[in-house]
Structure 1
């Protein structure tokens, strides 16, 4: 039995993506996530939990588990610190680590930086939901919030729709100004727009902001195309929401994880009869929801550990295909399992 742990650092993850290509990596995560969501027996995903923390109570540290019985368990620890990019630290808003454990032995199988994977799996989830709920011919994408998450939202959606133009709006003008350079690899027309133009012109809209608790909404309440589909990505705390309540009540609202979304997503303001099916149900019976492509739909994306589990699956497979990564003996494995002082070499 191999007792080494596969370690994938930021550098390893970057090399794997470079070797296999961004598009191939994103497309594989999208397709695998769709299959996993459509499988009713795939695994168990409790709602995430965590601590509110400094500075000013605006940040959180959370843990997100996913368990496949008789298979494995994936655990992500992730921090959300909205002040990071503009503080002296100059760090990403979201930082995290993924770990994979064998279900039979409980041993640590893999540990991985979760920065890129979190962004990719969030974009992939929006692509899965949009592919089911938005018009297939959607060509104009609107992005409210032009940070790191917006990059992978645009990338993922461009892999499943014939996107021709991206309209960008951000409360921080420099983020909107730099967005075209950050998604230059997509070779798409990107331009800044005010909210009114973005709302009226977009077939698909993604909101991915760091709006504070109680400070939303970040989107207008009217002026949309009748068939607009919205991926609401930013709500991840109690009291933090991005969409107007009147908009939610006019739309089919599909959460990724029902319990989690009702606690801290857009669904926290809705009654039970105002919430539509969970995304897994739409994936399992897509034909039932095809007619909604002609009306307003919302994907309430709080992000949950199934997505991280699938993304880590894909990364481990690509690490094996490319030969990238390190294997280290991290865990304490004594020569005599009954003697913790019997060190193995």
Structure 2
């Protein structure tokens, strides 16, 4: 079994390159969504607490099984901890033997960004150059880097109620070629942009802007609303937009469309990838990707991570499980 700690993940990114990894992960996610019917799928198992949520996200095809343990605790930042902590396991289906245990907090951010890029490939106008992002927390930089693999970004408008987060975001992306403009309110941020990413961490239903502030032709990628009672957008916007989701049974409970039950007919991303739906159909169309995160994406990330770790000889081989020389003699293996 291979163990990948955060230090191993950092080594891999230094060797392989973050931009290259995002590009290849986007390709892997697209490939896995194209074989949608091969996966055993289910909604994530979520246990909600006063302070946050802890979730298990399983997925498998006929060769590999994966699951991710992940939390969502917005208050962790005040305790010096990330709001999202995660680990993932990849196992062989034939034997049930785990082959990889990995830190997946970083992978969660990377696969979330890869899905943003993939969705925008089908839903944003091809001439998109200007991006706005509301929420400059832990996922923000990855969102822009993934989108930059799809579009020649020229300008980024950004907004966060936390000035330290906004400053961090601008500092981390200061070497990029696009112009960075900090905005003080959603109205000014929305002016002239082609793609909007909403990535806030509030645990309640908020409305970041008015529906009539979204102009025809804009693409919105909403990723902050990802559990019951946690949304970011005005419900009226859903009525105006072509709405795409990852896995409809899960998004109906957790996504923006929980505020508009029965009022819209969302399309799953797999339908776009498999060319059963055209995605954006005209330049004046408003498109919305209601993204909550789905286990197939974690499967894609763990599979790519395993392949690259082997290819670059990164990670540590560990014996975590009891595997006695005589498989039926567990007692003797323990006491000898």
Relative to the length of structure 1, the TM-score reads 0.93
- State whether residues 143 and 205 of structure 1, in contact with CA within 8 Å, keep that contact through their aligned partners in structure 2: yes
The alignment partner of 2:75 has SS state of: coil
Query: Is contact 1:146–1:168 with CA below 8 Å preserved after alignment?
Result: yes
Measure, in 1, the Cα distance between the counterparts of 2:254 and 2:213.
Answer: 27
Aligned partner (choices 186, 200, 205) of residue 209 of structure 1: 200
Distance 2:181 2:278 in 1: 36
Shift of 1:293: 4.7
Distance in 1 between residues matched to 2:136 and 2:117, nearest whole Å: 17
Which residue is 2:18 aligned to?
A: 22
Which shows bigger deviation, 144-153 or 169-178?
169-178
Pair 1:77-2:73 in alignment: no
Residue of structure 2 aligned with 1:309, choices 299, 302, 316: 299
User: Structure 1, residues 282-321: CA drift from partner, whole Å, max 9, x if none?
Assistant: 1111762341453101001000110011011111111112
SS at match of 1:269: helix
The answer on 1:46 being equivalent to 2:42 is yes
**Number of corresponding residues:** 334
Is this contact kept in 2: 1:146–1:175, CA < 8 A?
Answer: yes
Provide runs of 4+ in structure 1 moved above 4 Å: none
Unaligned runs of 5+ in 2: none
Change (3 A) 1:143 1:286: farther
Question: Residues 309, 201 of structure 1: CA spacing in aligned structure 2 closer, same or farther, 3 A cutoff?
Answer: same
Which residue does 1:149 correspond to in 2?
Answer: 139
Q: Is the 8 A contact 2:41 2:60 kept in 1?
A: yes
Are 1:200 and 2:191 matched, yes or no?
A: yes
> Deviation per CA, 1:316-341, whole angstroms, max 9, x where unpaired?
11111211111111110011111112
Helix, strand or coil for the counterpart of 1:93? coil
Is the 1:108–1:331 Cα contact (8 Å) retained in structure 2? Answer: no
C-alpha displacement at 1:197, in angstroms?
Answer: 1.7
Residue by residue, what CA displacement relative to the aligned partner does 1:176-231 show, whole Å, maximum 9, x if unpaired?
122111223533221211211211221000001012323x0123322223110001
Q: Is the CA contact (8 Å cut-off) linking 1:253 and 1:299 kept in structure 2?
A: yes
Alignment correspondent of 2:333: 343
